[in-house]
Amino acid sequence: MYQKLWDVMRRVVVQKKFIHDQVSQGRIHVKDSQNSLSTTNLGTDKKDVNELNANESYDSLKEELADAVTPLWRIPYHEQLKIKNQRNFEIMVKLTKRLRPNSNSSNIICQLKETLPSPVTLHYRNKNEFHIRYDSDGRAVVGLCVGKASKNTLRCITAEKLLNTHPFHSNVAQHLQDYIQHQSKWKICEHFQRGGNWRGLTIRSNYKNEQMAIVTIHPQNLTGEEIHSEMERMKDYLLACPLSNQLVSIYYQACLHTRCTAEQSPFILLHGQSHIYERIGEYDFRISPESFFQVNTQGAQLLYETVARQLAPERLSTVVDLCCGTGTQGLMVARHCRGVIGIELSRSAVEDARFNAAHNQIHNAEFFAGRVEKLFRPLLEQLDAAPDIAVIVNPSRGGVDDRVIELLRSNQRVRHVVYISCQADGLAMNNFVSLCHRPTRKMNSEPFVLRKAIPVDMFPHTDHCELVLSFRR
């Protein structure tokens, strides 16, 4: 299915070899705006050749990063959608074979729609998580990593050329990089046991282009006063840079682990607002440092509208939103049903969800913090009088625990489940199979039927998209 992609990549490799050969002979070929080649005879000046080689090396690194992060970036967007259509068809074929292992039919198990295109394809990410590591020359870089540490090829490359990354995000990353290289005495923390402090930078932004920066460090043996002093100097440096008026919030987190929750290590506000606000349609949502929010805001509106149409709750329906994040999806259907109940692991996200409900004047929604597999059963017991329960499931790539699927199957008032999957051919497929397979001794309840699958492209230039699956019984 990636044949066109590989063909383009091969042509690029051949083109690069041709350019290199011509450079070595003193004739330099440069790509113009139409991707054609123009030729300039610059003689054999070593300085010119060295500068070109340096620029080519720089461009080569950028292309290597782009190929790793946005592997479809060389392909026109309408062709990317065709690739994703084919990939989603193959996912449905795989699911069909698991549910109908003895069938000889070539039909897939449900209606599969064509991929809905993202409303925006460039610089669409409202969140970037940058690494702070060394490049191949040993310089501190705030960017993204390619290669493998096990093979000693891991290196960090700045991300300003990526098609999915907002220039404002790259701008803050560049200023922090300048500070680390020229102002800070701290070293980079590549391995916890080997010392160093600088670890990462997360940038979040909203429809107003307001930005929140979260710097992650390892405290090592530093005192609280030493950490705070360095963070204050960093803050002052960032605020003195151009476009700093858009940097409305600066946090830092001193994290001892690979990743820390706010409960394990609090986010310390250095400057400005404690939150930023994002807008989807007529709703405003509060964003905290660790809140889950879809990275493509305009794509998120398309996704949530698609889910709402598939869920189609009735006035007396109770909607249960599992893995609800900051409550976005549930709140957008709350005015069309009896009420919404959300469950989310992150306590700060639940606080945001409750705030978002009140802020948007929605009074029939409640949210609880905890593990879905532990809270879902007592929640269903409390809903014993609800005539109809519609469920939204929006988990991480690994899907939900088997106990959640068993509860969905066993409760006859749950007649409709809409499942949002960002990796439908991974572990989440086990959830789909368990929802639909025939009754067994272990799970003898009525199965669901997968009626429709709708891909929504939330990640242009990558090979990922969200898949909305509508299960009914």
Q: What mean pLDDT comes out for the span 361-390?
A: 95
Nearest-angstrom CA–CA distance, 391 and 230: 47
Q: How confident is the model at residue 295 (pLDDT cuts 50, 70, 90)?
A: very high
Provide the Cα torsion 453, 316, 325, 65; round to 10°: 20
Query: Nearest 10 degrees: CA dihedral of 88, 93, 96, 100?
Result: 180
- What is the per-residue DSSP string for 303-347? HHHHHHHHH---TTEEEEEET-TTSHHHHHHGGGSSEEEEEES-H
What are the C-alpha distances in Å from 60 to residues 12, 138, 157, 379? 11, 18, 11, 54
- Residue 82 token pair: 């065709």
- Is 422 an active-site residue? yes
Full 3-state SS string of 397-453: CCCCCHHHHHHHHHCCCEEEEEEEECCCCCCHHHHHHHHHCCCCCCCCCCCCEEEEE
Which residue ranges make up the annotated binding site?
A: 294, 344, 394
Distances (CA, A) of 452 to 238, 311, 419, 467: 49, 11, 11, 10
Q: What's the pTM value of the predicted model, to 2 decimals?
A: 0.84
Which whole number is the average pLDDT over 325-334? 95
**Does pLDDT of 424 surpass 50?**
yes
Note the pLDDT tens digit of each residue in 60-76.
889 999 999 999 999 99
Residue 56, pLDDT score: 56
What mean pLDDT is reported for the chain?
Answer: 88
Coil vs helix vs strand at 256: coil
Is residue 38 classed as helix, strand or coil in its secondary structure? strand
Residue 164: pLDDT over 90: yes
Task: Report DSSP state, residue 70.
Answer: -
Neighbours of 263 (CB within 10 A): 9
**How sure is the predictor about 443, in pLDDT bands with cuts at 50, 70 and 90?**
confident
Answer for the pair 376, 395: CB distance below 8 angstroms, yes or no: no
Residue in 255, 260, 337, 422 annotated catalytic:
422
Token readout for 470 is 């509508």
pLDDT of residue 18: 38
pLDDT at 47 over 60: no
Q: Which of 394, 433, 417, 427 is nearest to 470 (CA)?
A: 417
Q: What is the pLDDT of residues 171-222, one digit of tens each?
A: 999 999 999 999 999 999 998 888 999 999 999 999 999 999 999 999 999 9
| CA 337/CA 319 separation, integer angstroms | 7
Which parts of 206-332 are beta strand (E)? 211-217, 247-254, 268-272, 276-280, 283-287, 317-322
Instruction: Return the minimum-mean-pLDDT range out of 4-18, 274-288, 402-416.
Output: 4-18
Q: Which helix (H) or strand (E) holds 86?
A: helix 77-99
Average pLDDT for 308-326: 95
For 158-184, give one letter per residue: b (16+ CB within 10 A) or e: bbebbbbbbebbbbbbbbbbbbbeeeb
pLDDT of residue 58: 58
Average pLDDT, integer, range 218-243: 95
**Under DSSP, is residue 71 helix (H, G, I), strand (E, B) or coil?**
coil
Structure tokens at 73: 């970036």
Q: What is the percent of the chain with per-residue pLDDT over 70, rounded to a whole number?
A: 88
Q: Which of 361, 384, 383, 364 is nearest to 315 (CA)?
A: 364
Is pLDDT at 1 greater than 80 in this prediction? no
**If you average pLDDT over residues 437-451, what whole number do you get?**
89
Residue 391 has pLDDT above 50, yes or no: yes
DSSP-assigned letters across all residues of 346-382: -HHHHHHHHHHHHHTT--SEEEEES-HHHHHHHHHHH
pLDDT band at residue 364, thresholds of 50, 70 and 90? very high
Instruction: Compute and round to an integer the Cα radius of gyration of the chain.
Output: 25
Report the distance separating Cα 295 and Cα 171, nearest Å.
Answer: 18
Known binding residues for S-adenosyl-L-methionine? 294, 344, 394
Q: Is pLDDT above 80 for 9?
A: no
At residue 105, the pLDDT reads: 80
